[in-house]
Amino acid sequence: MALESINPATGELIERFDEWSAAQTAEVVDKTQAAWLTWRGTGFVERATLMKKAAGILRDNADTYARTMALEMGKPIVEGRAEINKCAACCDYYAGHAEAILADEVIGSDARKSYVAHRPLGVVLAVMPWNFPFWQVFRFAAPALMAGNAGLLKHSSNVPRCALQIEEVFIQAGFPADIFRTLMIGSGKVDAVIEHPAVKAVTLTGSDIAGRKVAAKAGQMLKKAVLELGGSDPFVVLADADLDEAAVVAAKARCISSGQSCIAAKRFIVEAPVYDAFLQKFTAAVAALKVGDPLDETTQVGAQARDDLMQELHAQVELSIKKGAKAVLGGAPLTGKGSFYPPTILVDVVPGMPAYDEELFGPVASVIRAKDANDALFIANDTPFGLGGSVWTRDVVKGEAFAAQIEAGAVFVNGMVKSDPRLPFGGVKISGFGRELSHHGIKEFVNIQTVWIK
C-alpha cells in the first residue's frame, strides 16, 4: 500500500510514498529503543534547551508548515499558522515546567527516606489523525520527550509530508537521532508495533472505532493506552444568554478546521424562548463565512480532507433530512473541483437522526429546541460522547452549576471549547480515557515509582 498525499481542494496527487515493510518498521523501533536508553539519562536542562529550539524552528517555518497542511488536508492557511504557533507554545510550556511537575515528592513513612519519583516509561507509539496534523502530535511529543520518553509517530496516511516535517523539526533542534521517528506505515501495521517489546505504551487520537481496536491490542499486550476520541459537543444557549456573542462564537466553534474537529461544537441546544432569535443570528454568522481555496488568506472554511469523508458526511445529512430534519442553510456538496462542503445548518433535529445521534465531522450544525434549562441539560447529556461542551448565560453562577452537570471532559462557560497546554484535555464515555496536556498529561507516560530507604 502506498501512502498518498492528495490535495483535497483539487483532487490532484501531490506525492506518494511506499509503505515500509515489517522488517523496516521493526528496525526503526529497535533504533528508537537504543536511542531512548541514552536519552532517559539526560537532565531536564538539556531536554528543555532542545525543546525551546524546536519551538523556535516551528515559529520560523510557520508559513511552510501551514502551506503543507493546506495542501495535504485542506486547512485554511491562516488557521495553519495559528496551529503551528500553538505547537511552539506547547513546546515552551513543557520546556519551562516539566522539571517542576516531575520533581520527586517526599512523603513521610516508616522509612528513613521515602519519596515518589517519575521515571520515563520508554518508547511510546502515537497514532495521530489528520485534522490537526501538527498540534495533535506536538501535544503528545513535547511532554513525552520532556519526561524522558522516546516517540514513534504513526500519522494518518493522507498527511505523510506533515509527518516527515514534524520529525525534521526534532532533528533540526538537535534531539538525538531516532529519539522521535515517523513510521511510514498504514493502519494495518499498527498492531505489530504495539506488540513490539520495546513499545511500552500507546496514545491515539481518532474515531471511537479506531480507539476500540488500539485499546484492545494494548489491553491484550498489557500496555498503557491513552485515547482521545470523537465528540458531539453540546453548545447550550440558555434564555438569558448574550445571543449576539453566542451566535458569532457558535459559527466559529462549528466551522473551525472546516468543521473537522473533535471538540467543535456540533449540537446547538437552545431554550425555546430564544430559539428563533438565536437561529436567525447563527444562520447569518455561518452564511457569512467564506468557503474557498485553503491557500487564500481570506478563506475561513477550506476543503474537506478527503472526498470519501465528505461523502460520508453528506450521507448523514441526507438521512437526517429524510427522517424529517430541514436544511435552512447548505445541505449539499459544492459543484466543481475539490471536496468542498458548505457550512450547513439543520433544524427539527430529533433522536433517531444521524444529526442527533452521531458525530458529524464537517461543517454541519444541528440546532435543537429545548423546552427549558432542564430539558437542555438532558439533551446535552443524551449522547454516547463526552469530550467537551459549553453553556451560554449572563448568570455565570448558574452557568457554572449547569456546567458541573454536563458529562464531558471539558466544559466552558461563555467560551468556545479549546485545548490549552496548561489544562488537562480528554473525554469520558466513548470519547476516550486518560488525559493529555497540563501536569496530568505528562504523567500519563511515566512510571510513578515509590522509593523507600531504610
Q: Annotated catalytic, 228?
A: yes
CB 422 within 8 A of CB 93: yes
Q: What is the CA radius of gyration of the chain?
A: 22
- Residue 345 pairs in a beta bridge with 329, 365
Q: How far apart are CA 374 and CA 357, in angstroms?
A: 19
- Residue 106 pairs in a beta bridge with 115
Q: How far apart are CA 66 and CA 254, in angstroms?
A: 21
Q: How far apart are CA 253 and CA 414, in angstroms?
A: 12
What is the DSSP annotation of 132-160?
Answer: STTHHHHHHHHHHHHTT-EEEEE--TT-H
Q: How far apart are CA 52 and CA 58, in angstroms?
A: 10
What is the DSSP annotation of 337-382?
Answer: SS-----EEEES--TTSHHHHS---SSEEEEEEESSHHHHHHHHH-
Q: How far apart are CA 264 and CA 439, in angstroms?
A: 24
Active-site entry in 90, 91, 162, 262 = 262
Cell of 147: 519526561
DSSP 301: B
Cell of 358: 452521531
Q: Annotated catalytic, 262?
A: yes
Active-site entry in 72, 79, 167, 228 = 228
- Please state, in angstroms and as integers, the Cα–Cα distance from residue 207 to each residue in 184, 212, 261, 275, 361, following that order: 20, 9, 11, 31, 10
End-to-end CA distance of the chain: 58
- Residue 449 pairs in a beta bridge with 117
- Specify the 3-state DSSP secondary structure of 126: strand
Q: Hey, which residues are catalytic here?
A: 228, 262
